Amino acid sequence: MEAIIPHLIAQNIWQLPEANRTVYATLVVLGAFVLVLGLIPVLQALPPRGRRAIVVTVTFLAGLLFAAEFFLPVDWRAIFPKDDPTRNFLTPAIQPAQNVLQTIGALALGLGTYGLVRLHLRNVVQRRTQWGYSVVLLIAFLTMATFSIANTLAERQLLKLEGTPQRVLERGFTILFDYTLVQLDAAMFSLIAFYIFSAAYRAFRIRSIEASILMFTAMVVMIGVVPLGAYISYQLLGLPQGPAPEGAGLGTQILHSIDLPDIANWILFTLNAPAQRAIEFGVGIGGLAMAIRLWLSLERGVT
């Protein structure tokens, strides 16, 4: 026993051995297939209680991997001097687990895209209201997908094009990506500036003491953080810039700290940061409690 544990710790048990790696990988993939395909009829045959028991167990084991990896000590050199102090035996399993999650995400992307295309195809076939938009979406989708896939294949030398087809691909991709998608993205982001303007005009009204404080603070920060705040403070009002000299009187100290940039920074660091920290504590604890409920299958929401 004493010999096995250090061996397991020293060897990365989550990686396939170098020799005959392809054979092992094929076996693992086939094993996973058999397991998943075998599990479907078993799950369907089971009564709901039994099905739930399996789901609860799998959820618990999957969560346990991450929890155990975090809590298990990583430095065992006091007991096994040859141990690697940077990881415990579960640490190397985290990356494969993340890869599985990414693979599930990629499969879901296919599912989402299928749903989107199906919906718009139906819109067109059944001539639902505003089906023209669906036609635009389908054409845009097909064109972009074709050029993107072709471009990626060409980049990886899997598709060899020459002459006119190559020029069409390069030009087409530039038009679609650089001159269309990129510009549309930028346009959407810049819309936010206009929306901020209309939302601020509508929302910042002095209806209560709290609203007044909020409005006043927002105005001070907005002016204080831009060059105009400095211009007003130092050029127009003639306030002294920088920290007060040591041993200065109270009046000088006050004058050195009431310029708009200083007040804005004080609001950001002294009022904004602690408020945010408090909210983040609450959010973090809420997230942890939710994770515990999901892990132990105590949550009955969507699970």
Partner 1 sequence: MQPQTIWQRMLSIDRRWLYAILFVNIVVFLLSPVRLRAPISPPVQKFYDEIESLRPGDLVMISSNWSASTLAENQPQLEAVLKHLMRKGVHFTFISIEAQSRDISLRLAKRLTEEAGYEYGKQWAHFGFVPNLIVAIKGMVNDLPATIKQDVTGTPIQQLPVTKGVKSLKDYKMVIDITPSGTVPIWISYSPKEVRILYCPTSVMAAEAYTYLDSGQVKGMITGAKGAQEYEQLLGITGLGAPFANAISFSHVLIIFFILLGNFALLMQRLHERREG
Partner 2 sequence: MKVDALFEWMATGSRCGWAAYQHAQDNWFAAIMIGLIVTAVLVNIFRARAGKQLYIRRIPGLDAIDEAIGRSTELGRPVTMITGLTAFGVVAVQALTIFKYITKQIARFATPMRLLTGDPTVFAVAQEAISDAYNEAGRPDLYDPDNVRFLSDRQFAFASGVAGLIQRERVAANFMFGEFFAESLIFAETGNMVGAIQIAGTVSFTQVPFFVAACDYTIIGDEFYATSAYLSREPVLLGSLVGQDIAKFLFALTAVTGVIASSIVGTKHPFIKLLGQPGGWSEFVNFLLGGK
Interface with partner 1 includes 46 (CB under 8 A)? no
| Residue type at 144 in one-letter notation | M
Interface with partner 2 includes 294 (CB under 8 A)? yes
Of 207, 210, 214, the C-alpha closest to 267 is 214
Question: How many residues bind to partner 1 according to rule CB under 8 A?
Answer: 48
Interface with partner 1 includes 144 (CB under 8 A)? no
Q: How many Å from the N-terminal Cα to the C-terminal Cα in the chain? A: 41
Asked whether 65 and 101 are in contact (CB, 8 A), the reply is no
The token duo for 126 is 């059944």
Interface with partner 1 includes 133 (CB under 8 A)? no
Q: For partner 1, what does the binding mask look like between residues 279 and 298, x meaning CB under 8 A? A: -x------------------
Interface with partner 2 includes 213 (CB under 8 A)? no
Of 85, 69, 68, 67, the C-alpha closest to 77 is 85
- C-alpha–C-alpha distance, residues 40 and 44, integer Å: 6
- Smallest separation (angstroms) from partner 2 to the CB of 62: 13
Question: CB-based burial of residue 221 (10 Å sphere; 0-12 exposed, 13-18 middle, 19+ buried)?
Answer: buried
- Smallest separation (angstroms) from partner 2 to the CB of 34: 24
Helix (H) or strand (E) holding 282, with range, is helix 273-295
The token duo for 2 is 């004493």
Residue of 214, 265, 293, 297 that binds partner 1 (CB under 8 A):
265
Give residues 60-79 in contact with partner 2 (rule: CB under 8 A). 69-75, 77-79
- Smallest separation (angstroms) from partner 1 to the CB of 16: 15
| Residue type at 100 in one-letter notation | V
Residue of 201, 208, 246, 249 that binds partner 1 (CB under 8 A):
201
- Which listed range, 24-32, 38-46, 94-102, 160-168, lies at the site for partner 1 (CB under 8 A)? 94-102
- Which listed range, 111-119, 122-130, 230-238, 287-295, lies at the site for partner 1 (CB under 8 A)? 230-238
Task: Give the CA diameter of the chain.
Answer: 84
Interface with partner 2 includes 126 (CB under 8 A)? no
Residue of 197, 213, 283, 290 that binds partner 1 (CB under 8 A):
197
Asked whether 69 and 91 are in contact (CB, 8 A), the reply is yes
- C-alpha–C-alpha distance, residues 10 and 149, integer Å: 43
How large is the C-alpha radius of gyration of the chain? 31
Which residue, 111 or 158, is less far from partner 2 as judged by CB?
Answer: 111
Interface with partner 2 includes 282 (CB under 8 A)? yes
Which residue, 64 or 192, is less far from partner 1 as judged by CB?
Answer: 192
Of 299, 298, 296, 300, the C-alpha closest to 59 is 296
Q: Is 3 helix (H, G, I), strand (E, B) or coil?
A: coil
Residue of 23, 272, 282, 298 that binds partner 1 (CB under 8 A):
272
> Given the rule CB under 8 A, which residues bind partner 1?
86, 94-95, 98-99, 102, 181-183, 185-186, 188-190, 192-194, 196-198, 200-202, 204-206, 215, 219, 222-223, 225-231, 234, 241, 261, 265, 268-269, 272-273, 276-277, 280
